[in-house]
Amino acid sequence: MKYDTVVIGSGITGLTAALVLAQRGQRVAIVEKNRFAAPLLRRFRRGGVWCDPGFHYSGGFEPGGALSVIFRYLRMGDSIRPVPMNADGFDILRMGDMEVSIPVGLDRVEDALRAAFPQSEKAVRGYIEKVNAIMSLTPFLSFDLDYRDFSNNQHMIDESLDSFLDGLGAEKNLKELLGQYGQFLYGVPGNEVPFYIHALIMGSFYRSSQTLANGGDELVDAFLHRLDQEGVVMFCGSPVAGIEVDNNRTITGVKLGNGEMLECGSCISTIHPGLLVDLLPGGAVRPAFLSRLRGLENTEAAFATYLEVDDVPARLNDANFYRMRHPEALTHNSILAIMMAGSMSHGSRKKGLCVLKESPNSPISKELYGTSRRASEYVEYKEMETANTVERLLECYPEMRGKIRVADSATPHTYERYTGTPGGSMYGVKHSVNQIKLNSMTSIRGFYLAGQSILMPGIMGGAVSGVVTAANIIGLETVWNEVKQWRQ
């Protein structure tokens, strides 16, 4: 059978792109290397608590927000039940002795930052104004725009966040706080992240941060139901092992690891673009493109520790807590993020907590991870990192001592194994002022790139990338005008 489109990868981007195309009558297949769909979204249970690997909260779930409109357009609106976080402080940021609670609403974020950094009042005002302006000029962050605005990139300031804040005269600690906060949510430090990427992602969190009642499962279940209704075929458990291209540099199909061939008219790859080096046939793209793919710089990985806690401090029930590096600290302590307990404890007496720790360089080689049996060095490293994470957590919340049981933990290798993303990188390719952005269109006719590494990271970035890439195949104007109708 020949498919109109084959989508490689079943993360949020692949699921979204496939459903947009199928809804418009295309015959679509999704290929996922794992035996189950969406490994970053699918939660698992350990002990009495739920563990979410790659989704905890997001902006865009509010009425009229990017995700809420996209899910309504995909006829999934009723299945997705966002749960608001603490409106007075959904993220608590601690840096040294300073603590700043980030409330819902850009005006309120401005007030909170001005109160914390009175000497930088003007800079804070200029920062929020610019975040607002960029959002209002960006499709999906604003639904008032015309499809022609997709190619209007003038507001996409390529200047870094740090340099933009320097221009406003922001004090050092404000720069540090915003830089590290953003770094955890998109993986790029303040001196490298283009200001517009910071503005789009952080602006959407500032507008409204929410989680889902059943975590990532809620998204996956809703997608699988709709994809099934639309007749999308899922091939799980065998990776794409090769991309087939004819002499005219036109896509003809994809080959699976088990030897099966899926013929197609177009193909969307949502996997880490660096992996394509081994999948593209020789001569299909220019050598310069291949060396660009080989040299891509990635965001850092995280080490995740899942805990069962008898008694979670009240503030962690509906808010996340970030312990930042202090700029004057003598040792380089990685950022620690404690994800709110709410949805992880769903249906359970115990409370679940997920603690994420930046994990820039894994001291243990990938080979020691193995596939079935882990080497003892790997097991020791994992136990040590887990214990270290728990100690760091107890420094912040000593009252939890004696009330914690480790349910599980995941190293960067675990993430790499499930997603294929090199080094288990949290957000894929770095969106950086030092790295040229990859384009969704490639020199192979009918072959497109999409996902966190192409447009924007996160659940919202992936979903928007999925819609836009599918729309490039079936008509941007038509799709945009349809999507916009679901904004109310």
Ligand X SMILES: Cc1cc2nc3c(=O)[nH]c(=O)nc-3n(C[C@H](O)[C@H](O)[C@H](O)COP(=O)(O)OP(=O)(O)OC[C@H]3O[C@@H](n4cnc5c(N)ncnc54)[C@H](O)[C@@H]3O)c2cc1C
Contacts to ligand X by CB under 6 A: 8-14, 31-34, 39-40, 54-58, 239-240, 270-271, 275, 302, 304, 356, 415, 419-421, 426-427, 451-452, 457-459, 462
Query: How near is the Cβ of 41 to ligand X at its closest, in Å?
Result: 6
The residue number with the shortest CB distance to ligand X is: 11
Query: How near is the Cβ of 419 to ligand X at its closest, in Å?
Result: 4
11 versus 179: smaller Cβ distance to ligand X: 11
Residue 488's CB is within 10 A of a number of other CB atoms, namely: 9
Region at 2 (left for phi over 0; alpha for psi -120 to 50; beta for the rest) = beta
Question: Residue with structure tokens 């902006």?
Answer: 59
Q: Which residues contact 79 (CB under 8 A, 6 or more apart)?
A: 218, 221, 222, 225
- The per-type count for the chain, helices as H runs and strands as E runs, is 13, 18
Query: How near is the Cβ of 114 to ligand X at its closest, in Å?
Result: 27
> Rounded to whole angstroms, what are the CA distances from 462 to 155, 164, 196, 310?
21, 26, 17, 35
What three-state secondary structure class fits 91?
strand
164 versus 303: smaller Cβ distance to ligand X: 303
Query: How near is the Cβ of 180 to ligand X at its closest, in Å?
Result: 16
173 versus 343: smaller Cβ distance to ligand X: 343
Question: Residue with structure tokens 């069962």?
Answer: 308
73 versus 427: smaller Cβ distance to ligand X: 427
Residue 397's CB is within 10 A of a number of other CB atoms, namely: 18
29 versus 275: smaller Cβ distance to ligand X: 275
What three-state secondary structure class fits 225?
helix
What three-state secondary structure class fits 110?
helix
According to DSSP, the β-strands at 28-32 and 233-236 are parallel
173 versus 359: smaller Cβ distance to ligand X: 359
265 versus 461: smaller Cβ distance to ligand X: 461
Token pair for 11: 């993360």
**Contact of 383 with 364, CB cutoff 8 Å:** no
Reported in sequence order, the residue ranges of 316-436 that DSSP labels E, i.e. its strands, are: 320-323, 336-339, 351-359, 404-410
Query: How near is the Cβ of 65 to ligand X at its closest, in Å?
Result: 13
Query: How near is the Cβ of 91 to ligand X at its closest, in Å?
Result: 11
Query: How near is the Cβ of 320 to ligand X at its closest, in Å?
Result: 9
